[in-house]
Amino acid sequence: MAKELFLEIGTEEIPAGMLPVAMRDLERMIRKELDGARIAHGEVITMSTPRRLVLAVSDVAEEQQRQELNLSGPSEKVAFDADGNPTRAALGFARSNGVDVSELTVRETDKGRYLFLSKVVEGRPVAELLPELLLKIVSSLSFKKSMRWKDLDVRFVRPIHWIAALYGGEVVPFSYAGLDSGKLSYGHRFMAPQAFEITTLADYIATAREHFVIVDPQQRKKIIADDVARVAGEQGGELNVDQKLLEEVTCLVEYPVVLCGGFDEKYLQLPDELLITTMKEHQRYFTIAAADGKLLPKFITVSNTRPRDEQVVINGNERVLRARLSDAMFFWQEDQKKPLESRLEALKTVVYQAKLGTSYAKVQRFTALAEELARQLDAEVLELTRRAALLCKCDLETGMVYEFPELQGVMGREYALIEGEDPRVANAIYEHYLPTQAGGELPSDNVGAFVSIADKIDTICGCFGIGLIPTGTADPYALRRCAIGILNIIIDKGYRLSLPRLVEQAVAQLEDKLERDSATVCAEVVEFIRLRFVNMLTGQNYPADIVEAVLAAGFDDVIDALQRVRALAQMKQQPDFAALAATFKRVGNIIKGGVDYAVDSNVFVEECEKRLYAGLQQAQQDVTALMAEGDYPGVLRTVAALRADVDAFFDGVMVMTDDEAVKNNRLALLTQVAGLFAGLADFSRIAA
């Protein structure tokens, strides 16, 4: 008979960002431990609130599954001496498995005769295994930041106040952090702090709600989403939907209560994004927009307690927001007394990185790179690009960004617009920071895209140049994100440029700062970006072998490489692709890099050589034209059509014949065949 397993860890308030990760870890760990212990089970459910982590597993078996083992030991020669007596190797193998040597058998294998042990391991009662298993899970949970408390020799994200652990309604006994597991949970800290007994998950969820705790985060999220939308409508507007904020607020409360407050209309003269950021980042408030998209002087907050007097709570929130908006208004007015461009000089006193110089020096470097990109790709925006690059870091010296760092770029754009800068320049000041996260918004305009690429490539090359190279998960300068951002912008815009050349230009700008050989830095940066490209493409479900094969044949032009990956991945789905790949692998294996001989048709001996040469000449003409058009599917079809002649060639001749002239001519012919697809992919890397 299967039973339900339940675990709850009650704590002080856990930071919101850590709850989703902890839930995923709990599910992963319990599955691993149950499966590893041969314990059959059903659905795994994890839930959480700021004060508790919950795990429940349905249909957990009462006994481990029995296990039939066939264990291989030492060879017969090693296991027995010349007289047939067991050696220490045989005795040790038997002892380690809890049996007598007489229970071992000798079997014939591909490698010779070896000792074997066949035995059945009966399953133990699961109730006996769970205390150790649950203790292992609780003690193994790890967090970005953990803490110690009292005089305990344990670490956890926050101090633990209770542990509830049940199997089939009975307590699973174990101790951790000075606490014994039991069957009691506790309600909301303020509205219902008393204990209540747990029997099943369903009963726990219902009873917890009676104690003002909504345990299921998805249910809390729905309640919050519905209520804030309703309140926004009651205020005559529409909610500015923010999924990230919704997720965060869901993890901040156990019992959500939605309240609405307001602020003085005079603050609406501040940019909407400033108001939204101030309310979202600092207060976790939702904002409301009117029908015309303009903000209403209202906000929605989610309380974790049902107040006796809602107005008292609302007044407190309004008072806090008023102080923040008053500061923002002061900085907004003060910053405008000084032109944005005048702040460029101040960047000379701001150290970007101790070994890489000031922010001013960085601006000068990536401005030159951005100008070069504009010359190559869109010369009409050269002046706009130069202007945007020079101004894009100036808002770092404003009072507003000093007080609200998350508004960098946003305030630069707003001040630039007020000062009459070209809207494309102003927008580029904001967009040069994009993308800020995986899958995030990309620059909408070439001006912002050029500055963004230039800034990011300077950051990567500078860090590599002084040895600040990401290792493992450590990436303090977000170089991986920079590389992925560059790739995404290039792909989104379809820029045809030489990435290695761009890297060389960036490294040249850093020549007086480098602590390592410039050629080495260039090679390492290109490889670093190539690996990010590989991860991107495989993450989009392109076959890994296709990606590696294509990039091995060339990674100068990202768009070109992407087109080749798409074409080859599509062809791989064809039923005869494996045979085609095998044929061209064979070509590569025979020529081993190729020979430097011209093909002489007068040396041909067999008809199959002549046919292949004739087909090759036509294919070369077709491939040249198709490559010029970027028609890689067409190139692949042309190359594939030559396969029959190549196979006939291999069937009809011996390439490595004793006649040196004939052999060299055949190798030269195959070298030209390989040249057809050399720029497409390295077929030797494609799995059969």
Query: Residues 156-214: pLDDT tens digits?
Result: 999 999 999 999 999 999 999 999 999 999 999 999 999 999 999 999 999 999 999 99
pLDDT the model gives residue 529: 96
Q: Which of 144-148, 409-413, 438-442 has the highest mean pLDDT?
A: 409-413
Pick left, alpha or beta for residue 630 (phi over 0 → left; psi -120 to 50 → alpha; otherwise beta).
left
Question: Is a pLDDT exceeding 90 seen at residue 590?
Answer: no
Contact present, 448 and 431 (Cβ < 8 Å): yes
Residue that finishes a domain, picked among 76, 98, 121: 121
H, E, C per residue of 147-197? ECCCCCCCCECCCEEEEEEEECCEECCCEECCEECECEEECCCCCCCCEEE
Residue that finishes a domain, picked among 158, 186, 210: 210
Pair (395, 497) in one structural domain: yes
Task: Flag the least confident range among 430-439, 590-599, 666-675.
Answer: 590-599
Q: Which pLDDT band holds residue 530 (cuts at 50, 70, 90)? A: very high
pLDDT the model gives residue 527: 96
Pair (48, 177) in one structural domain: yes
Question: Is a pLDDT exceeding 90 seen at residue 65?
Answer: no
Q: Any residues with CB less than 8 A from the CB of 312 and at least 6 apart, and which? A: none
User: Could you give the CA distance from residue 484 to residue 491 in angstroms, rounded to a whole number?
Assistant: 11
- In this structure, is residue 161 part of a structural domain? yes
| Mean pLDDT of the residues in the chain | 92
Pair (117, 181) in one structural domain: no
Question: Is a pLDDT exceeding 80 seen at residue 688?
Answer: no
Pair (229, 370) in one structural domain: no
Contact present, 251 and 50 (Cβ < 8 Å): yes
Query: Residues 550-567: pLDDT tens digits?
Result: 998 888 999 999 999 999
Pair (458, 522) in one structural domain: yes
Over range 528-551, report the average pLDDT.
94
Q: Does the bond joining 476 to the residue before it have cis omega, within 30 degrees of 0?
A: no
- In this structure, is residue 394 part of a structural domain? yes
Question: Is a pLDDT exceeding 90 seen at residue 457?
Answer: yes
pLDDT the model gives residue 680: 86
- In this structure, is residue 41 part of a structural domain? yes
Count the domains in the chain.
Answer: 5
Pair (409, 513) in one structural domain: yes
Domain interval for residue 107? 67-121
Question: Is a pLDDT exceeding 90 seen at residue 67?
Answer: no
Query: Between 428 and 609, whose confidence is greater?
Result: 428
Query: Residues 217-232: pLDDT tens digits?
Result: 999 999 999 999 999 9
- In this structure, is residue 275 part of a structural domain? yes
CATH number of the structural domain spanning residue 461: 1.10.3210
Taking the CA atoms of the chain, what radius of gyration do you get in angstroms? 34
Over range 574-592, report the average pLDDT.
84
Other Cβ atoms less than 10 A from the Cβ of 399: the count is 17
Pair (613, 519) in one structural domain: no
H, E, C per residue of 636-679? HHHHHHCHHHHHHHHHHCCCCCCCHHHHHHHHHHHHHHHHHHHC
Pair (448, 571) in one structural domain: no
Angle, helices 446-465/479-493, rounded to nearest 10 degrees? 150
Instruction: Give the rounded percent of residues in the chain with a pLDDT score beyond 90.
Output: 70
Tokens at 253, concatenated: 């409360």
pLDDT the model gives residue 576: 82
- In this structure, is residue 340 part of a structural domain? no
Query: Between 62 and 90, whose confidence is greater?
Result: 62
Positive/negative CA dihedral, 631, 632, 635, 637: negative
Instruction: Give the rounded percent of residues in the chain with a pLDDT score beyond 70.
Output: 100
The type of residue at 215 is: V
Cα distance between the two ends of the chain: 47
Q: Which of 82-91, 260-269, 668-677 has the highest mean pLDDT?
A: 260-269
Other Cβ atoms less than 10 A from the Cβ of 87: the count is 15
Question: Is a pLDDT exceeding 80 seen at residue 594?
Answer: no
- In this structure, is residue 547 part of a structural domain? no
Tokens at 562, concatenated: 């992407």
Rounded to 5 degrees, φ, ψ at 478 are 55, 45
Q: Look up residue 474 and give its DSSP letter.
A: B
The arrangement of strands across the sheet holding 3-11 comes to: 44-49, 52-60, 3-11, 160-167, 170-171
Pair (59, 75) in one structural domain: no
- In this structure, is residue 363 part of a structural domain? yes
Q: Which pLDDT band holds residue 685 (cuts at 50, 70, 90)? A: confident
Pair (394, 447) in one structural domain: yes
Pair (152, 41) in one structural domain: yes
- In this structure, is residue 249 part of a structural domain? yes
Residue that finishes a domain, picked among 335, 365, 400: 335
Question: Is a pLDDT exceeding 90 seen at residue 347?
Answer: yes
pLDDT the model gives residue 674: 85
Pair (145, 194) in one structural domain: yes
pLDDT the model gives residue 86: 87
CATH number of the structural domain spanning residue 587: 1.10.730.10
Question: Is a pLDDT exceeding 80 seen at residue 121?
Answer: no
User: Could you give the CA distance from residue 452 to residue 429 in angstroms, rounded to a whole number?
Assistant: 9
